Structure 1
Amino acid sequence: MEEEQRRMQSAVYDVLNDIDRKCLRTLQIQMHQCAIECCRDPSKNIESLEVCNENCSKEVAAARNYVQNEFSKWQNRIQRCVQDCNDTIMDKMPNDRNRNENEMNKYIKEAEGCTSQCFTKYIKILPQLTNKIVDNLSNKKLQ
């Protein structure tokens, strides 16, 4: 099970780095260039400079928020899949409290197998999710 979690974390890390390289860094460069222009304008007072800098960072903040929301939805789907595994196993287990260790180990193993299938299924979805996120960030469709 720990190996599955490491595999999941590694896949997510790779995807987030990919999204960062393909989209977010460009937005950050634009944000910093915009902020430089704000600072170069000698007519701006402190308040207007602050507003200008905040406006420069809005697109990056929106993009990060969008990426976070998409990954939250993806994680919720994994959690629902794992919960379904647990519910299925609980439905199979007899009600008696005198289950032996072998019986319990069988259910645990079955639950772990089901959970592993959830992880595998949702790792396979990551490329599609990445493409969707990159396309939407590139086209500024952040909803």
Structure 2
Amino acid sequence: MVEQQRQRIEQEMTKMINELDLQFLRKMQADMHRCAAVCCDNNKDSLERVQKCVENCSASLTWAQTYVQRELEGLQNKLQRCVMDCNDEIRVKLGPNPTDTEVHVLFP
């Protein structure tokens, strides 16, 4: 049962990440590449200016990716704390070495 719940959470997380990518991040990435291509097409600017232009093009995507990563890490930390709290509650209810019967009574 625990393994099924863990897999379900992982599937939902993967689904959410894919939705974020398709709805937001991929468009931002495409925009970044188009912007960088315009920078590179400029034959009048110096190498440094072109590089700065490309960096500016990627700034919003980098920010968004960092934000998403930070939020996902926060969510994973909350889930881990929740699992730890549940484990602690179960240990209190069942003791350190529960029998199979005790486990099945509490969790049919």
Name the TM-score, length of structure 1 as normaliser. Answer: 0.64
| Structure 2 residue aligned with 1:72 | 73
1:17 deviates by 1.0
Mapped partners of 1:109, 1:5: distance in 2: 22
| Structure 2 residue aligned with 1:49 | 50
Mapped partners of 1:32, 1:23: distance in 2: 15
Alignment map for 1:56-95 (pairs within 5 Å):
56-94=57-95
- Identical amino acids, percent of aligned pairs: 34
Mapped partners of 1:83, 1:55: distance in 2: 43
Runs of 4+ more than 6 Å apart: none
1:48 deviates by 1.7
Q: Secondary structure at the match of 2:45?
A: coil
Task: Note the aligned Cα RMSD (angstroms).
Answer: 2.2
1:87 deviates by 1.5
| Structure 2 residue aligned with 1:6 | 7
Q: Secondary structure at the match of 2:4?
A: helix
Alignment map for 1:120-131 (pairs within 5 Å):
none
Deviation string 1:56-85 (CA, Å, 9 cap, x unpaired) is 111111101111111112111111111111
Name the TM-score, length of structure 2 as normaliser. Answer: 0.82
Look up the equivalent residue of 2:89 and give its one-letter code: T
Look up the equivalent residue of 2:68 and give its one-letter code: V
Q: CA contact under 8 A between 1:89 and 1:107: conserved in structure 2?
A: no
1:9 deviates by 1.5
| Structure 1 residue aligned with 2:40 | 39
Mapped partners of 1:35, 1:23: distance in 2: 18
Q: Which has the higher contact order (CA 8 A, sep 6+)?
A: 1
